[in-house]
Amino acid sequence: MITAMSAQGKGIEGAAYATVASQIVTAAITLWYFLTKSKVVRIRRVRLESSLISEIFGVGFSAMLMQVMTMVQQTTLYHVAARHGGDTWQIILGAALSIQSFTMIPLWGASQGFQPAAGTNYGAKQYDRVKHITRVFMIGVTVFRLIFYIPIQLAPKTILSWFIKDAGIVSQGVADFRILFSTYILLGFVLMVITLMQSLGKASKASVLVMMRQIILFVPLAILLPQIGGLGVHGVFLAPAVTDLIILVLAVVMLAGEFRNISKLATQGQR
């Protein structure tokens, strides 16, 4: 409601003001609730606990880094798409990224549910349960992503037309839209690995995956692929898919190593 009211006559500037205003109102309501109404968690006195600062940053840094790097990633995509394809391909890319952002919402929700479940059980030395929870969440998010993946692959023209009204532009972008989402089904597994590392206090490992996916691999590929084999702007849409395949391999290796460590801890705990 705030966004709609504030954006009238203001265009993009109004939408920006409305977004900030909505966030302030939401923060104020949340603070009020935990100060006065919550029966489970109540804020009474705020005290800085220096011994917990490193742990807080360790868990939160990679999550924050992922958001910042997403902005850098999308800026790079738009820039390269404009250089190799012009305004039309920026429109197609914008629609594709908007759809991608929407389909990521359930995945972020699953991540937020998985993190405390894995972290709490790890802290309680329930190591077998950590592995079980990890497998359940990975299977769950992969299956759930089929809800988006199948329609996008089978009816990309229909979905793109929800965001782009020009039928000619929609037809032009169908193949690349499919390519961009070709590895979409793998992202649930990758994000669960990143979240697991955060939950276990392995912030450096989580940050490596984030940096590799968002910047170290992606940016060079987004710049270089359009210049290889005459790919042009199509390389822009191929870069995320190639990046995700490489990151999947790294995530599998990292998960296997962590599961071995957890199994050792479980064995030691039984002695």
Task: Please check whether residues 10 and 125 belong to one and the same domain.
Answer: no
What's the domain range around 1? 1-46
* Cβ atoms within 10 Å, residue 20: 11
pLDDT band, very low/low/confident/very high, at 158 (cuts 50, 70, 90): very high
Task: Please check whether residues 113 and 11 belong to one and the same domain.
Answer: no
pLDDT band, very low/low/confident/very high, at 91 (cuts 50, 70, 90): confident
The tokens for 238 are: 């191929």
Task: Please check whether residues 95 and 172 belong to one and the same domain.
Answer: yes
Task: Please check whether residues 39 and 61 belong to one and the same domain.
Answer: no
Task: Please check whether residues 124 and 243 belong to one and the same domain.
Answer: yes
More confident call, 228 vs 8 = 228
Task: Please check whether residues 84 and 27 belong to one and the same domain.
Answer: no
Task: Please check whether residues 114 and 12 belong to one and the same domain.
Answer: no
The tokens for 216 are: 């170290």
Distance separating the N- and C-terminal Cα atoms of the chain? 59
- Residue closest to 200 by CA, chosen among 270, 123, 113: 123
Spatial separation of the C-alpha atoms in residues 86 and 231, rounded to whole Å: 15
Q: How many domains is the chain partitioned into structurally?
A: 2
Tokens 């994000």 sit on residue: 191
Spatial separation of the C-alpha atoms in residues 206 and 244, rounded to whole Å: 15
Buried b (16+ CB within 10 A) or exposed e, 84-117: bbeebbbbbbbbbbebbeebbeebeebbeebbeb
Residues 180-218 pLDDT 10s: 898 888 888 999 999 898 888 887 788 788 888 878 888
Task: Please check whether residues 66 and 1 belong to one and the same domain.
Answer: no
Task: Please check whether residues 39 and 66 belong to one and the same domain.
Answer: no
Please compute the mean of the pLDDT values over residues 117-131 and round it to a whole number.
Answer: 88
Task: Please check whether residues 76 and 17 belong to one and the same domain.
Answer: no
Averaged pLDDT score across all residues of the chain = 83
Lowest mean pLDDT among 41-55, 82-96, 160-174, 202-216: 41-55
Residues 33-57 pLDDT 10s: 888 877 777 777 777 777 767 766 6
Phi, psi of 149 (to 5 degrees): -65, -45
Q: Is 175 helix (H, G, I), strand (E, B) or coil?
A: helix
Task: Please check whether residues 99 and 183 belong to one and the same domain.
Answer: yes
Identify whether the C-beta of residue 59 lies closer than 8 Å to the C-beta of residue 201: yes
Task: Please check whether residues 94 and 30 belong to one and the same domain.
Answer: no
